Amino acid sequence: MSRVLYICLLLLSLSALSQERKPFLGKVVSGEMVVEDIFIINKATGAETKTNNNGIFTLPVKVGDQLVVYGTKTDVREFTINNLSFKEQPYVVSVEIKGYDLEEVVVEGSTVTSESLGLVPKDQKQYTPAERKLYTATEGTDAIFNAISGRTKMLKKAAETEKKEGVIQTLNGMYTDTEITEQLNIPAEYVRAFIFYVAEDKSIANALKGDNETLVRLLMIDLAKKYLTALKDGK
């Protein structure tokens, strides 16, 4: 074997090894608190895990993989693995705890809302917390500053994330994990990752918005086939 050929084969071997996924140690926090029992999903492979009671998780990754941190009580956080990600052990991921607005109060069988109290006109559009922040940022004297500073872009992303979380919650109400495994053939260990994958599909969001459950279930079948193909190709 010539020296040049040997060097080429060696470089190819090193390149292949560098692309192999290896355990990635991370820690999820919110401020000074650790966040336990929160999902970490590798969008490239569909693999997922949960943080332990110390906020620690381990997941096979490689440079370029995009990870999603998702929990029912936290905002969704996405980040991409790069070479520097492996230098910090554990890699600390900061998330925001969701703030909950009081939408309505039931008093002795009657519902008290901002509309019924006359604080908001009945025909006025009702905003979610993220939409309300975005609306405020794009109106008034601060609009130009917010656009230049990137705050508007950040809030638009937050509003989109909130909508995605709404889709996830609705789908969780329509399907149990067992039904997704048995009816759609999604492996049990990938159910949470599949739900997040589906939540990014605009056709699903539109079908849910139109209360078309039949269309949602048909779309879920098609998306399950696509997801399983992507999962197979990613391994």
Distance CA 98, CA 73 (A): 6
How many Å from the N-terminal Cα to the C-terminal Cα in the chain? 32
- What is the per-residue pLDDT for 100? 53
pLDDT band at 123 (very low <50, low <70, confident <90, very high): low
Tell me the average pLDDT of the chain: 74
- What is the per-residue pLDDT for 119? 47
Of 19 and 64, the structure prediction assigns the larger pLDDT to 64
CATH architecture of 21-94: Sandwich (2.60)
Rank 45-49, 92-96, 103-107 by mean pLDDT and report only the highest: 92-96
Of 233 and 93, the structure prediction assigns the larger pLDDT to 93
What is the residue extent of each domain of the chain?
21-94, 126-234
Of 91 and 166, the structure prediction assigns the larger pLDDT to 91
Residue 136: is its pLDDT beyond 90? no
Of 53 and 105, the structure prediction assigns the larger pLDDT to 53
User: 3-class secondary structure for the chain?
Assistant: CCHHHHHHHHHHHHHHHHCCCEEEEEEEEECCEECCCCEEEECCCCCEEECCCCCEEEEEECCCCEEEEEECCEEEEEEECCHHHHCCCCEEEECCECCCCCCEEEECCEEEECCCCCCCCCCCCCCCHHHHHHHHHCCCCCHHHHHHHCHHHHHHHHHHHHHHHHHHHHHHHHCCHHHHHHHHCCCHHHHHHHHHHHHCCHHHHHHHHCCCHHHHHHHHHHHHHHHHHHHHHHC
How many CA atoms, within 13 angstroms, populate the side-chain half-sphere of residue 152?
Answer: 14
